[in-house]
Chain A
Amino acid sequence: MTRPTARRTAAAERRIGRLLIAMTYVAVALLVVGVVLMAAAGISPLAGGPPFDPAAVPAELAAATPAGFLWLGLLAVIATPIVRVIGAAISYGSTAEWTMVAVSVAILAVIALGVTIALAATA
């Protein structure tokens, strides 16, 4: 790796690191709001939450229900490492490291395949 490339890679890793930390705190904040609303509404954690329905989340958020904030927080948690891979792919693409771009795309493809298989199993 040449020195300018190494510098760019180091800067990109710092940016990705900051993104991970920021997304984690956003996810924690959303979950905290959800848990506070749960407690305020007197909902027990063992009461059995509503099933995951992505289409219903915006309406639940607008109505300030605990489930809306909890689902958005949980989605943010799960999305954080996926966003990190996308960020890394963009960064590797900018330095023409095509092998690492291919690795990043393959990781995303495996996750997409997992979702597809799970959807097919529940259909």
Chain B
Amino acid sequence: MLGGGAVAGAFGSLLGLGGGILLVPLLTLGFDLPLPQAVGVSLVSVIMTSSAAAGVYLERHVANLRLGMTLELFTAIGALVGGSIAFLLDERLLSALFAGLLGYVAFSMARARSVEPGLETPTAGEMETSREEPIASALDALSGEGYRVRNLGRGVVGSTGAGVASALFGIGGGIIKVPLMHLSMGVPLRIATATSNLMIGITAAASAVIYLVRGEIDPYVAGPTAIGVFLGASLGSRLAHRIDLRYLRLLFVVVLLYTAVQMLLRAFR
């Protein structure tokens, strides 16, 4: 469990994802844990890795705390909704939905190279248009040095969705939040990544407390797994510049697709 957590954490760290996307299938398929328990353990692991990274980002002033806190109000609301409905849904339906999520992430990673050139900050024209919005002063307050936040409404809707996904599947939701902030809201990629990391803590904590109170967090599973993910993520961040991420990304896509099929088989078992 410690080793599995370490692999999930290292993969996640190297590819800019939380470990949750691999951890939940590992615990359900590898250790035959019920899905809600796997999600509860994954949420704890995700909080631990994100807190350490978010601390560093805040110290270095990379994360936008105002924007992060504004959006995490809505990720927390989404997490509250997701954490409440997770226990009403059939486990097989959740497994099928998780398989869909894995497929989406695999697809996103496979086409990441072709998307990257489009990841640009807003043009002057776009910024001028958004200045006419009635909530311009609020957007100004959330903006940072050298960029101006736009499309707050989309950010609110997307963040709520990310919160629901986080609570249902035990993921940090960065796969939704980073593109949302960067592509829709005009936040530079580095700041969007750091701010998303900051938000993951509260998003996951809002649903983790629900899983904790409902008895879905087993300390004997969560302890070793969380330590493994933490060590793996720390190792991954040190190895990132020594590894050719193209091959790792390809390997990850294959692993995700294989896991998606296994989760689908579990759903229809």
Seen from chain A, the residues whose Cβ lies within 8 Å of a Cβ on chain B are 10, 13-14, 16-21, 23-25, 27-28, 31-32, 34-35, 38, 43-52, 66-67, 70-71, 73-74, 77-82, 84-85, 88, 99-100, 103-104, 106-107, 110-111, 113-115, 117-119, 121-122
In the complex, A47→B265 CA distance in Å? 26
Among listed B68-76, B236-244, B248-256, interface-contacting one: B68-76
Tell whether, in the assembled complex, residue A103 and residue B69 are in contact, meaning their CB atoms are under 8 Å apart: yes
Q: Which residues of B contact A (CB under 8 A)?
A: 1-2, 31, 44, 47-48, 50-52, 54-61, 65-66, 69-70, 72-73, 76-77, 79-80, 83-84, 87, 141, 201-202, 204-210, 212-215, 217-227, 230
Residues in chain A near residue B76, CB distance under 8 A = 107, 110-111
Known: A70-B219, A85-B69, A118-B214. A111 touches B206 (CB 8 A): yes
Tell which of B55, B77, B80 touches A17, judged by Cβ atoms closer than 8 Å: B55
Contact A14 B51 (CB under 8 A): no
- A19–B52 Cα gap in the complex (Å)? 10
CA distance A82 to B141 in the complex (A): 23
**Chain A residues with CB below 8 A from B84, complex form:** 114, 117-118, 121
Q: A34-B223, A70-B222, A78-B212 are known contacts. Are A121 and B87 too (CB-CB below 8 A)?
A: yes
Give me 4 other A-B pairs in contact (C-beta within 8 A), A10-B61, A111-B76, A115-B209 excluded.
A16-B55, A18-B55, A82-B205, A115-B213
A21 with B56: CB separation less than 8 A? yes
Contact of B73 (CB < 8 Å), options: A10, A34, A106, A117 = A106
**Majority-rule SS of B interface residues:** helix
CA distance A107 to B206 in the complex (A): 9
Please give, as numbers and ranges, the residues of chain A lying within 8 Å of B227 by CB-CB distance: 28, 31-32, 35
Complex-state Cα separation, A80 to B54, whole angstroms: 11
What's the Cα separation between A73 and B51 when bound, in Å? Answer: 14
For A67, give the chain B residue with the smallest CB separation. Answer: B219
**Which residues of chain A are near B226, meaning CB under 8 Å?**
31, 73-74, 77
- In the complex the two chains form, what is the Cα distance from A44 to B201 in whole Å? 28
